[in-house]
Amino acid sequence: MEPITSLNDPLDSGDEDEEEEKKPTPTRVGVMSAVLLLALAVLVVQLYRLQIAQGADYRDQADNNRFRLVTIAAPRGVIYDRHRAVLARNRPSYSVGFVPADLPTGSARAAVLQRLADILGMPPAQLDRDVQDDPTNEFTFTPVKDNVPQAVAFQIEERHLDLPGVQVQPQPIRDYTMGAITAPILGFVGRISSDQYDRLKDDPVHRYRPVDTIGQVGIELAFENELRGTPGQEQMEVDATGREVRSLGITAPTPGHNLVLTIDSGLQQEIAEVLTEGLTRYQTASAVAIDPRNGQVLAMVSLPSYDDNLFASGISQADYQKLIQDPRHPLVNQAIGAAYPPGATFQVITATAALETGVITPTTKIDCAGYISVPNRYDPTVLTRLLDRKAFGPQDVESALADSCNVFFYQVGGGDPNGSSNGLGIDALSKYARLFGLGDPSGIDLAGEVGGLVPSVRWKRQTLNQEWVPMDTYQAAVGQGYVSVTPLQMANVAAAIANGGTLYRPQLVLQTLDTQGNVVSNYQSDVTRQLSVKPEYLARVRQGMIDALGSGQTDQGTSYDGVAKLAEVPKFSAGAIVGSPEFGTPDSKGNLPTHGWFVGFAPTDHPNIALAVFLERGSGPGDAARVAEQILTYYQKQGH
């Protein structure tokens, strides 16, 4: 029997086909190899990017997630008065804010903002706006609310697991011990503006940050470099939520220098209290006291004022709007930032100029009949009558100052209307007014000072497009018309007359001290000029001011009944001149409202205080004289 082979052949043929199918084709191998090579290339490129091209950036981010370099603010210098009473210091407080890099993203971030908004009582949208998206500052603490109560700060700390990225940091808050009384001098600190930061960001010593507070007004601004210290740094390790795990090293900050001012806080407070008593009758009130021996400012009060603690702790929008909408402008230091007509107090300058130029002598007498009649320059038959408060009879320069006789100074400044004598003229008046420091800022270390106005022929032509007329000179001679001055300028005038003709730049700072109380630097008074006036002429003007607080006769035989007698203090001799310049529109009876001025010095033998008091809408010179009497009484009781 032959073997059956038909059954084996197909089987053998099928096995061979299957083997052929299992063999890899060249195309398939190529594809797989290409995929593997591409994947390997991607990995190599990514590894190169992560470890070489951007390795430093990623290492920095990793280190920042673990290590932080935190700035430690330097304590701001303390401000003292001349007797070392504290005027401005730092008190502890808390600030709440974010470190943007530690905040979660998406819905988790919204939940964190909502929780914090509920605690702080702020809209979540406002918190979202406050979070900085600048990648260069993502590890910088960004405050969203300062001066947070301790209980709230502790509550946030207790819930830190629910508030990732939210931090509470200690924050010193400026504390002004006398508040509104010294606010016009000290000013306040506030958050640095973008313009300020752009100007100061490269300061290598103070190293300002966008979230810092700096001096904005007053002494805080003028002496920012001295008060601000050098910040320190702390290197720390943090956990995943950005909270400190351990400190790796601290560079201690250098505190700012302390300032000792020339201000006498007791006198400052007394003047503020005296002026406040009548403030309901005045629109504003201000006073400046200067030591005529060296130009040191003993007191400077401006009312109404504001509480600078509001700004230091973060003033609300409602409180700020209330201040800026107040028509009395409490944010303006009226003692240096507002100018008013000086009225009869300007007569001391007219008298000094007339004596020095020879327009009058100490023996010159003028009959003060109570008025003068000035002819119109176009029609001499038309006369304008300039009234005085009464007829004084014959007056020399001393009695005219004591009585505040306008008629005397009308003729000294503008000449006899009948043409029998020439007066000083506006050019000479302007020259001597500027010699006394009027018309220009005094240079005191406070921003916002104005220079007032000393008019001239050119000024009127350029400003008003009008020609100067004789009536303008008559008005200027008695401190009316276009003349305007600040209380600080008039205190300087009184000081120069009291000390014999030396004009100082007003000084506010005595010393800077380190934290141990050692003197770092002493400040000296600057003499701006020595008046080119004979001592005997200044002595005549000074005597006229002394006579203004009494009654009697001069050595020329003219009688006087001093207009400033309401300022007399028993057993404390003083010299003064008062004024009540008119302004505005007349009332139904034709009377114009007045300001009130007192400008004087004391004691007369060795003057150590020069005082200027200004009452806006004060009822004549009497109000200012009564205020001055209370101030000088206090000053005397302090042993001066």
**Whether residue 225 sits in one domain with residue 314:** no
**Whether residue 191 sits in one domain with residue 155:** yes
The pair of three-digit structure tokens given for residue 242, joined into one six-digit string:
């950005």
Q: List Cα–Cα distances, 136 to 113, 133, 140, 143, in angstroms.
A: 22, 9, 8, 16
Residue 11: the pLDDT is 47
Residue 48: inside a domain? no
Residue 277: inside a domain? yes
**Whether residue 285 sits in one domain with residue 253:** no
Cis bond leading into 304, ω under 30°?
A: yes
Phi, psi of 553 (to 5 degrees): -130, 145
CATH code at 571? 3.40.710.10
Residue 443: the pLDDT is 95
Residue 366: inside a domain? yes
CATH code at 193? 3.90.1310.10
**Whether residue 294 sits in one domain with residue 256:** no
**Whether residue 559 sits in one domain with residue 494:** yes
Q: Among residues 239, 261, 283, which one ends one of the domains?
A: 261
Q: Among residues 205, 229, 261, which one ends one of the domains?
A: 261
**Whether residue 275 sits in one domain with residue 252:** no
**Whether residue 288 sits in one domain with residue 240:** no
Q: In what order do the strands lie in the sheet with 67-72?
A: 67-72, 232-238, 244-251
Around Cβ 44, how many Cβ atoms within 10 Å? 10
Residue 21: inside a domain? no
The helix (run of H) or strand (run of E) holding residue 399 is helix 397-403
- For β-strands 86-98 and 166-176, DSSP reports them as antiparallel
The pair of three-digit structure tokens given for residue 78, joined into one six-digit string:
């303390």
Chain length of the chain: 640
**Dihedral angle computed from the Cα positions of residues 198, 200, 204 and 209, in that order, rounded to the nearest 10 degrees:** -70
Q: Are 76 and 229 in contact (CB under 8 A)?
A: yes
Residue 542: inside a domain? yes
The pair of three-digit structure tokens given for residue 210, joined into one six-digit string:
């966008």
Residue 83: the pLDDT is 96
Q: Among residues 238, 261, 284, which one ends one of the domains?
A: 261
Average pLDDT score over the chain: 89
Residue 149, amino acid:
P
**Whether residue 593 sits in one domain with residue 517:** yes
**Whether residue 356 sits in one domain with residue 251:** no
Residue 550: inside a domain? yes
* Domain span holding position 104: 67-261
Residue 59: the pLDDT is 56
**Whether residue 104 sits in one domain with residue 160:** yes
Q: List Cα–Cα distances, 186 to 216, 267, 285, 378, in angstroms.
A: 10, 16, 18, 54
Instruction: Write the DSSP assignment of 569-630 as a string of letters.
Output: BTTB--EEEEE--B-S---TTSPPPB-EEEEEEE-SSS--EEEEEEETT-SHHHHHHHHHHH
Residue 28: inside a domain? no
Helices 150-158, 106-120: axis angle to 10 degrees equals: 150
Q: Are 262 and 298 in contact (CB under 8 A)?
A: yes
Query: What pTM does this model have?
Result: 0.84
Around Cβ 5, how many Cβ atoms within 10 Å? 8
Task: For tokens 């009484």, name the residue.
Answer: 633
Residue 2: inside a domain? no
Q: Are 401 and 350 in contact (CB under 8 A)?
A: no
Instruction: Say how many domains are in the chain.
Output: 2
DSSP 8-state class, residue 507: B
Q: What residues in the chain have per-residue pLDDT under 70? A: 1-25, 50, 53-66, 130-137, 240-244
Residue 598: the pLDDT is 97
Residue 532: the pLDDT is 93
DSSP 8-state class, residue 346: G
**Whether residue 231 sits in one domain with residue 355:** no
**Whether residue 190 sits in one domain with residue 73:** yes
